[in-house]
Structure 1
Amino acid sequence: MAYYSDLCVQSEHLLADPYQTDYSQQYLIPNQEAEYEVRSTVLVDGGDRFGVASVVFDKYEELIWMGNQGGHVTSYYGPAMQKYTSFQVHESEEVRDILTVENGIFALTKTSLRHQIRRGIPKHTHKSKSMSDMQCLYQVSSHKLLMGGHQDKLIDLDLNKMVENIIKIPEEGSAVLRSGGGSLVACGSANGMVSLRDIRCPGKAEHSFRAHSACLSDLDMQGDTLISCGFTQSGGVAVAEPYLLVWDVRGAGRRRAPSVWSLPLGWPPLLLHFVPAVSGRAVALGGDGNVALLHVNESHNVDHSVFQVDTHSAHCSAMDVSSTSQALVFGDQAGHLHLFSAQHNHEPRFNNFSRGTEFADPDPGLPFVSLNDTGFKYSSVPLPPLASGSKWLNEMPEAFYKRVYRKPKTIDPEVLKSMKMQGPIGYAPNPKNTRRNQIPYVNDTLEDLQAVRHNDFVPNIQPIPKCYLKMDFRLYKHGVDDLEINKTGLPGLEATLPNSYCNSMLQVLYYIPQLKTTLLAHTCAKEFCLSCELGFLFRTLDASGGSPCQASNFLRAFRTVPEAAALGLILDRGDQKADLVTLIQSWNRFILHQIHYEILETRKKEKELAFLTQNSSPPKPSRISSRINRQVVNGQYVEDYQYTELEFLGPSEYEEFREPLEDSWKSNNNDEEHNHVRSESIDVSNNHNNTDREDSEISQLFAIVRQQLNRCLKCNKEEERMSVALACALQYGGGERGFADLLRAALAARRSTPAWCERCARFTPTTQRARPHRLPPILAINCGGTTAQEKAYWSKSVTKDATEALKRGLTGKPCRYGLHCARPGCRFKHPDRGLSQSASPDSCTLPHRLHVRLQADGDVLIDDKTDPPPVDKRAVWSDSYALTAVIACVEDGPRHLVAYVSRRKQWFLFNDLSIMPVSAEEVVQFSWWWKSPCVLFYTSVGAAPPS
């Protein structure tokens, strides 16, 4: 079928209403004498989306090739139309013509020509600037193709060299190329002109004539006979002609017009094709599926063999006739292929001498055997082939047969960590790493042998002391179920509620006298105020008399804070995968900032309320930090504090709240220098400004004031500003460094990072340096320990000391007698003295005291020696800090947090409800595999409460 960009529309749309009744039939009754009947119908690949664009019979094999409007080609084998191959030749353009050759097929699209073998493997794709709107293919010889289309040129393509020869034609393109077997080839254009050209020299037309006045639909040749169908002009409208024209082109080259006669049909024909096996027989196909077998040499009225293609109201778009004339194939726009064959011929042949089609080798099947067949011989099943040099097991020599028991798998390290020794017997909970009744074994592979050899030199791990294990105690009406867990008289906190991981931090905050006094004196009208809830919890602990308490009110208010949920501080009840080390350090930053802003807001509201009672006019709105959004709900203020992840979770040292605290420190410095005392009767606006510049008791206790210097490395522009942080994080780096060096790097941090430069007007490398301006009475330090580099710091000295201990003959194996061991100088581990014995090779310590000096040049010096350093005249400020509280993480199956608190020169271990005194050496000793520090609190010696 010819495709026209402007004139190609269906016949029923070309007919106007006056002609509809004359040329269309309501229903065509099939003729019982029809020579062909339908054999099979299939839905082609992609038929649900695209219609059939072209279809041809293979000239060499029993195949049918189909191309659709989506650029996909599919082949079908035999009369049953079994799908053979399916592949894509273009991503979007329709397949307009297909030509079968000996070594494959050529598929023509609008702008490309694809050559593929019949198995679907592409060989070559030809594209050129001359191929703009291609339409048809014609094989001149075994190595030449002639291509035409809706363009003013024909392309003669050499298949061996893939070289084009352009032939200019005056007609409006060549939509159809057909030959009758001689030297002439008929070229039909879209405007209805037909030119006859010699194949040997196609550059000049032998004869040209107008076949149809409007446009040409299709043509075909057989010998010297040419048939055509198309459209004619009638009143300015293209009308489909209900007949086909028969042309005798003999003698057309001698300047004589070919003779012509017409064969009328009951419908307008759309596609034509001669029947190769019978001379003068042709097939005419209408767009509605009407098919007629014509005798074109009989000009008088002859009965035609008529039948109908059931296209389900779809438009027929393609047709072809096999070389044996035994089969016809039709394609429609609904994506179906219809195969017709002669009556009583159920196995039609497409070619007289078709070669065999290549199929994939079938998989060797196994014999089918019933489950009830007890007499089946399994030896009859053929064994699969072996690689060269391999043998079956029954062919191996007897020297390879040896009975060896499988080695059991090594004990899980989780079991060794949680093991409790009772005499020579150890008990540990099941880590549930394997299924029930499943016994794991070790395969003797090279990796397993190397792993076992490597583990032989690792010292065994001692069991964790009982007082550090996670204890499941619950409050009852008459107290807890074990009265031996707390004999100190200090109140404990139950850990059965959600988010009880912060119990350790609550105990530490409770035993900071300055913070406790501030929170007990805090009152406000806010519904969920963490400062009020902390004050209520502290009152409950004071009145408990040493009995256990619950932080239920505080945790309920804590869950309502949206900032805590945004920072990931709120856990579900069954969340066992949370990183408690990171979580408690983020919680430390959050709670200090939260109560600081709550105290500031309460103070501002009290002054606004006092002003409203003294003045009738409302005060001017006070400046509030951009982090605070105030709303009035049910007559109360509802604050929404906006924190960022960088401020609380990031490892950077520049997580500051700048706006309130910078102004407050500047205001305090000016007050101290000028000894200025505020008055209650000053101006309202000044009163509000001073209120904004005030700092809270929290910032006075924990705020670290630093002067930050930023210098651009491109233009050397320097900028200075004051920054304030309530907690600092240790800065880990390469090399062997002590704790004093880590803290010094945290206070006076230096780093290089891209930042915006106003002078350069772009992001440039910038060096940032922080100089401590003032240190608080209490240093809150987050130890990190979340990355591999930070964990390596705590395990580096451990590995070195463990190797030296092994060289001295010490061992990490637990003593079989446990607490009942009476042997003096026993070199095995004991649960009661594993932390204090001097031979422990797996611990590192923290300093109890720190001496800090601020130099005049902004540098900071930290000494962790016991004796205070000599007085340095260059120091502008110096002070000594003592360790007063520690939060540690215990790796006990489910990880949990414990707290060390110094109270009246005695250290206590708080493990939820379990409270017991410990030695000062045990507090500062940490082991990389079971106990690591999280948060440290160093208090100034001058600010510490009297003992």
Structure 2
Amino acid sequence: MESQWTEVHQLCDTNPSKISPVSALCWDPYQELMWVGQDSGRVASYYGKGLQRYTSFKAGIDQQIRQIKATDRGVISLTPNSVQMRDRQGLVRWNISGHEHMKDLHCMTTTIMNSELLVAGQQDHILVVNTARGVVTKSLEGASNIVVMRHLPRSICCGSMLGEVTLRDPRTMKVEQRIQAHTATMSDLDVSGNLLLTCGFSQRQGSLVMDPLVKVYDIRMAVRSLAPIPFPSGPMFLKMHPTLSSTCLIASQTGQFQMCDVSSLSMGALVPTSQFYQVQTSSYITSMDISSSGQTLAIGDGNSFVYQFADRENYTMNPYSIPVVTPDTSPAPNVIVNDSSPLSSIGMPYYTDRLLSAWTQPSVYEAGYPAPVIDDEVLRSMKTIDFVGYAPNPGNVLRNQVPRRKKQIVKRDIPKFRSEQERELLSARGILDDDITLALDPQCVNMPKHYRQVEIQYSKFGVDDFDFGYYNQTIYGGLETNIGNAYCNSLLQALYFILPLRTITNCHIATVCEKSNCLLCELGFLFKMLRDSNGQNCQATNFLTAFSTIPQAEALGLFEPEAATPNISYSMLIQNFTRFILEQLHQEANVKENPVILTTSPPSEDAVTTPSTIQQLFGLQTSSQTKCAACNHESSRTTYPFVVDLLYPKKPKKRSFTSVLKGSMYRESQTKAWCAHCQKYQPSTSKKIIKGLPGIMIVNSGASSNEDMAIWRQNGPSASPNSSRQDDSPSESSWVPERIGIRIIGTDVTIKAIPMDADIPIEFQGPADVSTHLILRLLWPAATGLSEEEMAKSPWFVFNDFLVKRIRPEEVFSYKGTWKVPSVLQYSRIDIDEVLDTSTIPNSVDYSILFKTMTIAEYTPDKLSYEPLVPEEMPKPGTLVAIDSEFVALKQEETEIRSDGTKSLIRPSTLSLARLSIVRGEDGDTEGVPFIDDYILTNEPVVDYLTEFSGIEADDLDPKASKRTLVPLKVAYKKIRLLVDLGCIFIGHGLKKDFRIINILVPPEQIIDTVDIYHIRNRHRKISLRFLAWHLLDEEIQSEGHDSIVDAQTALVLYKKYIEFRKDGSFGRVLEGVYEAGHKANWLKGSKEQSTPRTASTPQPALDSPAVFKARWAM
């Protein structure tokens, strides 16, 4: 009784097309089998602890299996009108059906000798069946409506639908005693020794109610009622424990069960709470049984599930079990198959019929072309007579002839990999033509290709083999998608084209910011990458990584799930992200003394400090006024909401954009609020009054229903009755105007659509103190960097992650297609260059981070592995530095094996910067001495430290155990960012991959990559740094792990050797010799004892050679 029952296994019917409830369960007392019967008439058995499927057969044709009983001779199953015995392998021994007294059988039990079977049900007879011969030997009358039967050595217990229990003589079946246990039907009973337990229903007000008690009787002489067992959830099934005579198992239909000691309860003891258990089922319990050992039990439910519980880890089903008969296994043929084995060594299966593949020649014929589409002109003139259509020949086709159509060339929607293009001598030509006169439907009802979701395809060479230029032939950089929360890319691209925000972020990253996951810093770094991209693809990896660490973003549900579901509204998600990111940027840009950048912003009445630069740029200066209805006390406060959420009219009707915008900006509501004067909650009137407009106004569409979208899809009304715009202009054909005017005088706000080619009305040309603003949709020439000629074509571009394409204005303002849902609109003042002065923002660059040593590790190293720069060594444009970095894996690569055995890369491994080493490269005494050797703290879990290739140990990145210079990622990134901005030239081996993982874009003119220097263009082989060091420098590197300082120094020496080879004109011969030696050595480095396979023109470098500087070995 002190053991704890735990669920050890679940199984379900293998037929998922039709759920059939479990109607009967039986543990086999002779073999380790469990028998399961279903309402569909199927009986299945499962063997062993894993409950593996053993046999399965149909015992009844669409008839419920009412009971299963396992004997030493076989397994007996009972259906409403049949009794059947089979052996444990499923073969029928005998079957009794169609008997005149078999009308509605419910239960069965065996006699003492197990030679006879008693069968009863809702009928007037008890049938006696001989289990050896399978025949009905007797039919006893006077026993009606029996639903449960159990046998004792001296009596047979029968429970009826009337709630009565009768004890009968097993020889004559005469009633010896009667017990009225329940007033309605009996649900279950069981016996053990002299104890009888029953559960059932009672009649109350004409309906059946389950009795909440298990009734207990002593049946030794005269029947005596004992203390009942309370079971509040309603007992439905009873089983006495096979080894503990006074212990019973009680279960309800809701899945609750308990083990209970009847003897302890009769003495007043309570059931301990630990003995109550709950089956985790979504249906109802239908059957239950406990094994003969008492160590495991099974419970079935209405969803075809069987739940197995055990009270110990190493349980047994029976004390002694007969081994289960298993089918003979045929030995596997001794066939050795390898690459040289002939196909004929594999035997053909024996067959007698003709194979389907043995087609005769006439069976193979060429399929014809489908019938041509009939012209609409012919169909219009067609007349139908007796289901046959007739039409005159239009004369454009020949009689009885159909022109053979040419095979259509299917255009690829995705580019070929770069490696494939090189093999086929192809140059990628984008499907996204830059010509804005692309033949699309004017209203964009159907989704154009450049709006579809784009994905990066990977070859065996990784992401570098993907042709991003196929999707982008503009001067703007796109953002990649293989990063978590990449849905933010679209907004990040839009924010980049806001020049004042670009200036704010650039000034912020120039100063000292101690916050490790500062989004304003990461946004500034990202903007610098987009600025330098010139059409290259970029990644927002560092920004999105920092974003994923903010707990407020997770609480707001801004993180994209790994697997996208249809329930996600990306339109609402990006709107919420817009509101969050501006608020976050405001908090990070807010300082004690904020500079004034918006000269027309009216002073706030309650403002103590100047608003932050983000508030001045994006904040809508709003006065929230509250008036108490009881005491007329008024209070107000100034807020700066960053977005305007459009509120649509409740009754759908045609409304202009300006009227909806005005109703959304000016709000008045009645609510209950705290009154400071009354000192209690009072009905109040709340108003939001616009006091000043920002330089950039962001509007969230808030279109979340079909009614809201119907407003967007309506044609926009004319801005004025005398407007001179053409009918096909964007503002006329769209609900959204391209330019609007906003005028604020006191508490009155006037908003009006102004056509782009129309003069500004006189009422919007007032003085600045009236807070008059003219605003334009997102783009102005200075932000795009386009010339007037390019702007004349179209200033609009679509940014679909790494797909960038010029589009027509009609596409921007058209929302006719259901595939297009507006999310965020950005309006900017047309005079923003005059009213916004960003020169007041401090922008002096802080270079002190290059000259000092910092670490966040608790242990401070006694000796540094590098010498920081001194102010006299301040880098300048053209300064040579050598760089190398090491990485750790955050996610393993995902691959799949195709049917032909080849491996396909689904997603490469995700790497993170773990160590950054930069050495001095200029000639002098400090040449080759490192001045940066930082280990990077990683906040995300590391799945592989790649120690064999990186030399990184787990303790190196642990702040509590590291003995290295450990810094946050932003510190290391800012150092290399400063070196790039100072114009340093970086020397290294394989820098393209390093800079990509670091998430920085270095201009090509500032990169010297030895992997490209020592490479012949028509050769596919890229030579490793280890082989070049062995062959050209006679150096063994990376033999006992990687060291980024050594690798950077080696790359620097190789570059200096390259300069020497260029000067004496021997570089071509040297490079050919490197490739020749590589082929001979199979591109594996040689040992020190072997002679280096150099060409005659390759000199043997000495240790004191100028190209091999002394500082390298001094480290």
For the superposition of Structure 1 and Structure 2, which TM-score range results when normalised by the shorter chain? Answer: 0.3 to 0.5
Bigger Rg over Cα = 1
- By relative contact order (CA 8 Å, sep 6+), the higher-ranking structure is 1
TM-score (norm 1): 0.36
TM-score (norm 2): 0.31
